[in-house]
């Protein structure tokens, strides 16, 4: 078995896989589950300006930054991609991704459509994977079922989801998240394929 952070073949760079799709499609669950199947995967930790939620740890859940800190890092080119969402900034620290890839570790980024487009421009070798819901009705049910957001926020997320679903053709592959275990196995095959 491979130790976390070690590559299967010495000197072989890791693969960068970007997963994106509408809010509520299960990207976070898939990313967390992926680590249970494969140790040679690092799911990138994003930076954000939003306040930590209950149970979130700085450096594990996110890197929590002030808006000023985030702006300084963005200006210095320290993010592979970044965007504003729901009034907060989110970004992927470039150095951490590059370091893991150089070590031969496969890196998974869980980001929005705009971020995926930025990564495609910066690193064309990245594999972009669109995570799709089984149906529109299922996506709505998942967002409402969370019970964590107001009706107004849910409506905004659904409006954004329509745009994101229309961009599916920009991705290298699509995985329908109908059952998490099966979807993660399909994702793992893309992470591991040469």
- Is 112 a domain residue? yes
Question: What is the structure's pLDDT at 6?
Answer: 42
β partners of residue 94? none
Question: What is the structure's pLDDT at 10?
Answer: 57
Question: Is residue 114 within 8 Å of 83, Cβ to Cβ?
Answer: yes
Question: Is residue 82 within 8 Å of 92, Cβ to Cβ?
Answer: yes
pLDDT tens digits for 35-62? 888 888 999 999 999 999 899 999 988 9
> How would you classify the pairing of strands 88-93 and 47-48?
antiparallel
The model's pTM: 0.83
pLDDT tens digits for 79-107? 999 998 879 999 999 999 999 999 999 99
- Is 25 a domain residue? yes
Rounded to an integer, what distance in angstroms lies between the CA atom of residue 6 and that of residue 126?
20
Question: What is the structure's pLDDT at 1?
Answer: 28
- Is 127 a domain residue? yes
Domain that residue 53 falls in: 16-192
Copy the structure tokens of residue 160. Answer: 């954004």
Question: What is the structure's pLDDT at 12?
Answer: 86
3-state secondary structure of 129: strand
- Is 2 a domain residue? no
- Is 21 a domain residue? yes
What is the tally of structural domains in the chain? Answer: 1
Question: What is the structure's pLDDT at 3?
Answer: 38
3-state secondary structure of 85: strand
- Is 97 a domain residue? yes
- Is 10 a domain residue? no
CATH code for the domain of 122:
3.40.50.300
- Is 1 a domain residue? no
Copy the structure tokens of residue 41. Answer: 């995967």
- pLDDT < 70 stretches in the chain: 1-10, 147, 194
């Amino acid at each position: 078995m491979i130790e976390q952070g070690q590559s299967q073949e010495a000197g072989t760079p890791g693969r960068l896989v970007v997963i994106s799709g509408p809010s509520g499609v299960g990207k976070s669950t898939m990313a967390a589950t992926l680590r249970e199947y494969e140790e040679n995967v690092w799911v990138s930790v994003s930076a954000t300006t939003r306040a930590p939620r209950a149970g979130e740890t700085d450096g594990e859940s996110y890197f929590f930054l002030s808006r000023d800190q985030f702006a300084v890092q963005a200006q210095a080119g320290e993010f592979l991609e970044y965007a504003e969402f729901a009034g907060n900034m989110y970004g992927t620290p470039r150095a951490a991704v590059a370091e893991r890839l150089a070590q031969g570790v496969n890196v998974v980024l869980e980001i929005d459509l705009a971020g995926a487009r930025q990564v495609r421009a910066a690193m064309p070798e990245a594999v972009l994977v669109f995570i799709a819901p089984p149906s529109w009705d299922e996506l709505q049910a998942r967002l409402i079922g969370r019970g964590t957001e107001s009706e107004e926020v849910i409506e905004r997320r659904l409006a954004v989801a329509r745009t994101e679903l229309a961009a599916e053709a920009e991705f290298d592959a699509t995985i329908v998240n109908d059952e998490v275990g099966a979807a993660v196995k399909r994702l793992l095959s893309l992470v591991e394929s040469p």
